[in-house]
Amino acid sequence: MMTLTRETSALMQGEILLKTQPHSAWGGAVTAQMYLPIALPSVWQQVTDYPRWTQYFPDVTRSEIMSRHSGVKRIYQAASKAFLIFTAQVDITLRVLETQNQRIQFFLESGSFSDFTADLHLRSHEEGTILTYSVCATPTIPVPSFLIEQAIRLDLPANLRQMRSVICTGR
């Protein structure tokens, strides 16, 4: 019998694994992983339902598909995030490339970021799915990268737990 790595064991117990790193003077990069006790095709169907992302991520106030053309989708998302004493309103238009049941790539077209890329990978594991989400972003609002990394470390695990809860309950 194969022994589980410590990371895989932690994922299977419901932990969200998180790795952050600086991306630029005003940006951040993060990779997060979680296990979903749901078969991959069902997870794929739900994560590609982009209007539903407002349920997965509480700060996302709007998420809509703007167009579909030649296998490429364009989505618009808006979010509101409180930082210390101010609230940041951000919006973004993304070009989305999907590789069925495997990967979603998000590329910045326009919005409140000077750069933004994200990658969502899915892979089957035992009876469920391991979701890996990586994002690199630099907002146009000058916020020191250590604040962005801190917000990511605090918010992303909670957001992914929310996403898992919504996906697993089918709400």
Residue 170 Cα to chain centre, angstroms: 18
Just give the CATH number of 10-169. 3.30.530.20
Residue 18 Cα to chain centre, angstroms: 12
User: pLDDT band at residue 145, thresholds of 50, 70 and 90?
Assistant: low
Average pLDDT over residues 117-145: 88
Cβ-based neighbour number of residue 171 at 10 Å: 8
Query: Following CA atoms 108, 103, 89, 169 in sequence, which dihedral angle do they give, to the nearest 10 degrees?
Result: 160
Average pLDDT over residues 131-154: 76
Token readout for 112 is 């409140």
Average pLDDT over residues 112-127: 93
Distances (CA, A) of 126 to 33, 94, 129, 143: 16, 32, 8, 41
Whether the per-residue pLDDT at 40 is higher than 70: the answer is yes
Domain boundaries, the chain: 10-169
Higher pLDDT, 50 or 8: 50
Q: Please, which residues bridge with residue 52 across strands?
A: none
Burial pattern 78-98, b for ≥16 Cβ within 10 A else e, equals: bbeeeeeeeeeebebebebeb
Average pLDDT over residues 4-28: 82
Average pLDDT over residues 20-37: 81
Residue 118 Cα to chain centre, angstroms: 7
What digits encode the pLDDT tens for the residues 86-115?
677 889 999 999 999 999 999 999 998 888
Alpha-helical runs (H) found in 13-144:
40-47, 53-56
